[in-house]
Chain A
């Protein structure tokens, strides 16, 4: 079992340690830790020789980064144009209500995070959602409970 510091060192060892590596390093940190922990961000800033404000600016500018711990399963509900027209908003509300979570946040038990996405790129099967790497197309609000079930513990 690697410590947090070892995990971070493994990530940093893959890069040259220049400012341009900031976004890919943050992506790797998020992949590894599931969010961007504050202590790790401080180390990243030091090693890439960029200010902590710049790290924070990048981490808050881009949608994929989370400064809060995220749930074990990431639910992404598409709100692209085709999904919007086919009830994507109803879908995200239903999922949120079922799990008692607002989009952009994680459930209390950290089992799920709920996010909305600009477009997942499977517009012909709107409305669409993803749980982790699995797509669920042609969704309807009444399909939600059955789909969520296997992911609940």
Chain B
């Protein structure tokens, strides 16, 4: 890779690169995304490497480890190009057969293809799989196309062309105009118009300005940004360089949470590659503009997703937020004007510049333009990463993309927006998802976590879970949040323990009012959403816990009773061995008995019973 001295130099290189590549060359892309990695994608990739080598196919078949291919439920995913055949549930043991049949003989093996649950038809090609139909891939477009560790791959896929277009005669103001016209709003959750933020920062007085990419994806249940940072790191960098040019920043930072070691590694590699290629550093591509990027690793604090807390921690202090104004766009890092945008926001910028703001603004709804990436997880058949136009309905996401509720169960709610969001019930399944509509039903867009729940989820427990998270993560600076989360958690714990009283519900509502009005930052202000939304839509579940001391979803342990069905029990002793309280008595081949006095209701016996003989009731 040469150091590009000019835009022409880069374009010549790209031309040579493309002509040296044969588009018909067979490629195997093993998904190395957040969904496939824990299920053995590295072993699958290693098996392909060994098998291709053994068969002398090295150099004839290109093997790559790609970013997230989306359909995590069917991990490990493998994509064959140029045909775009999408295999699923591949293990290392399957690889010799796949190489022989598919790569050598050109035959599609049905058992590795998506099968329609209704008619059993085989969908071998990505474009035919319902999970991908209805998606609009802008941010995730290169995920199953490139090797994220290869700058050549990014360039061959049109990477850094947006930057060239910007340098080729666009003024910083014109760039900001374009971003403003595109209608792009912050993808981290706040939804502030990106162009307006950039303009505020550009207009703020001062020669030194900073730019930060917020990769502190803290919402539990969300992995969109992790997938983008790991799967297409140069897109984030390209967006940042364009943003830096627009606002006049000299230095950028990517703040990544330390729980994402692979994202840190991929971004560090991309930064080194970009620097060596003259895409970062002094006088980028001979444009006269200089900009560099550093990685700043988070140290584990949810509140650091809040921009002023993030800045405080980058300055070497604890992550406590500060009152706004002044906004970071005016006084941010080291007191200098600073633009902070989320990973997905930055990754949208190259596409907006390449295709034009009008193209982008034509996608989505009136006030929410473009697409949004969601991590669709929980009780759906097709868990994974999806990117849909704004305005796609919850029903489309849960049923068309998500393939419906797992195990044929009943949809109960979808939780969006992480701990700052709410639970949306069934009656809103046809809600078009955008910033405003989610807010209108008591939730928020947030960063894109979408957790689907069925009847096995207890909504009081879900509220308690989020409050436990928020109480733990509240930085403690302001009283309404510090004390409010503590008391909400205490009340919710009482209710889930069966000690709830009628006074608890109005007391929680009162606490929520005070917290929403008086908390310093978004964490405390929105911490009330999990409570208020479940109280609003699932009040009968609270009442069942309080009045009848029952948990209808069979989740809240103190309200459960475990018994062994003597008819079904085979006397295998598995539960006797596993019970942490020694509460189960029994001999081999004799039905076991649970001592209710000793039972701690941990559910271990239920989990280990292979014969479904342990019954739970409330």
Contacts and interface: CB of A to CB of B under 8 A. Distances in A.
B316 A58 contact: yes
Given A126-B377, A135-B38, A121 B301 contact: no
B436 interface: no
A122 B607 contact: no
B109 interface: no
Interface stretch (B15-23, B184-192, B213-221, B277-285): B213-221
Interface in B301-331: 301-302, 313-319
B469 A118 contact: yes
Interface in A103-152: 117-126, 128, 133, 135-138, 140-142
A135 to B, nearest CB: 3
A120 B223 CA distance: 8
Interface residues of B, number: 61
B226 interface: yes
Interface centre among B35, B221, B415, B466 (most CB of A within 10 A): B221
A90 interface: yes
A62 B301 CA distance: 6
Interface string B56-71: 0000000000000000
A143 to B, nearest CB: 11
Given A58-B316, A85-B457, A142-B608, A123 B38 contact: no
B220 A23 contact: no
Contact of A125 (B39, B314, B453): B39
B545 to A, nearest CB: 18
A26 interface: yes
A12 interface: no
A141 B219 contact: no
B92 interface: no
Interface residues of A, number: 50
Chain A interface helix/strand/loop/mixed: helix
B297 interface: yes
B313 A122 contact: no
B221 A90 contact: no
B315 A124 contact: no
A142 B34 contact: no
Contacts, number: 161
B72 A85 contact: no
A88 B402 CA distance: 22
A61 B469 contact: no
Contacts of A138: 38-39
A81 B451 contact: yes
B316 A22 contact: yes
A139 B479 CA distance: 39
A87 B378 CA distance: 12
A81 B72 contact: no
A82 B377 contact: yes
A81 B34 contact: no
A90 B603 contact: yes
B383 A123 contact: yes
B99 interface: no
A80 B316 contact: no
Contacts of B475: 61
A145 B608 CA distance: 13
Contact of A119 (B221, B465, B580, B603): B221
Interface stretch (B253-261, B391-399, B517-525): B253-261
Contacts of A97: 580
Contact of A123 (B221, B315, B465, B469): B221
B511 to A, nearest CB: 22
A94 B449 CA distance: 27
A120 B263 CA distance: 12
A33 interface: no
A73 B222 CA distance: 26
Contacts of A125: 35, 38-39, 72, 75
Interface in A15-68: 18-24, 26-27, 48, 50, 54, 57-58, 61-65
B412 to A, nearest CB: 11
A102 interface: no
B377 A137 contact: no
12 contacts: A18-B316, A27-B297, A48-B316, A58-B316, A61-B318, A79-B220, A121-B222, A123-B222, A123-B383, A123-B451, A124-B375, A124-B385
Interface of A: 18-24, 26-27, 48, 50, 54, 57-58, 61-65, 79-85, 87, 90, 93-94, 97, 117-126, 128, 133, 135-138, 140-142
Question: 10 shortest A-B CB distances, which residue pairs?
Answer: A137-B38, A63-B300, A124-B72, A135-B38, A80-B220, A81-B221, A62-B299, A22-B316, A124-B383, A121-B223
